[in-house]
Amino acid sequence: MQLSDVTEVESEEMDLGYELPDHSCLQEDEIPRVGIRFVQLQLAHEFYVTYAKKVGFATKIRTTTCDKITKEPVNQAIHCNRKRFRRSRVKAPTWKNTISVTGCKARIYVKFDKEKQEWVFFKVELRHSVNPEKLANN
């Protein structure tokens, strides 16, 4: 299986406001890419959180898979916190602090390389959904 830095995105997704974040304010080594290695899972998480803050979005850990025997994590998916579509359980007139959830595709997948005893980014999606207000103002 061949891994790539950015997964394929269908053209209709691009029409919905997905774009690569502006990386002009970042050093090359601050941009996530497949193959970056870390000695601890926490360091991989902190790297992506720092990147996300610099380009303008927040993250959340979406899934963590643990080894069935040792119960130690073996891989983790960290997504933009606007990934999922959801409906509010509170009636609209009483809901004041809405969170824009746009189905964003920005995410990384990190797994533990048993051979080298390191955590490695094995899938990276840098495309981020544009804020709907930003689209309306363009």
Q: What is the mean pLDDT of residues 48-74?
A: 94
More confident residue, 130 or 70: 70
pLDDT for residue 37:
97
Q: Which two tokens stand for residue 125?
A: 């999606």
Residue pair 18/126 in contact (Cβ under 8 Å)? The answer is no
Neighbours of 107 (CB within 10 A): 21
Q: How many helices (H) and strands (E) does the chain have?
A: 3, 7
User: Given a cut of 80, is residue 123 above it in pLDDT?
Assistant: yes
Q: What is the mean pLDDT of residues 39-67?
A: 94
Residue pair 43/57 in contact (Cβ under 8 Å)? The answer is no
DSSP annotation of 35 reads T
**Residue for token digits 């053209």?**
11
Give the pTM.
0.70
